[in-house]
Amino acid sequence: MEKLLEILEGIRPDVNFENEKKLIDDGLLDSFDIVSIISELNDEYNIAIRVTELKPENFNSAESIMNLVLKLKNSN
């Protein structure tokens, strides 16, 4: 989780990723942020996030992003 928070804060240092639960629903992240996050996650965790995973619920919080990463890592 620490590594993930480091990645997210590197992309948007102004967002409190530890507490925010509606990153997408509240419009805190824009599409450029999402593509940067996807790219970093793919590289860091050696996963391939597909279009079908682009649901708000997968990106609304650091916890949900971590769950997505773990799900994809386990299915590899």
Asked if 39 interacts with other proteins (CB under 8 A), we say yes
Q: Please list the helix, strand and coil fractions of the chain in percent, rounded to the nearest 5, in that order.
A: 60, 0, 40
Asked if 31 interacts with other proteins (CB under 8 A), we say yes
Q: Identify which of residues 3 and 55 has a Cβ nearer to other proteins in the complex.
A: 55
Asked if 13 interacts with other proteins (CB under 8 A), we say no
Q: Identify which of residues 18 and 22 has a Cβ nearer to other proteins in the complex.
A: 22
Pairwise CA distance, residues 67 & 41, whole Å: 12
Pairwise CA distance, residues 52 & 6, whole Å: 25
Asked if 34 interacts with other proteins (CB under 8 A), we say yes
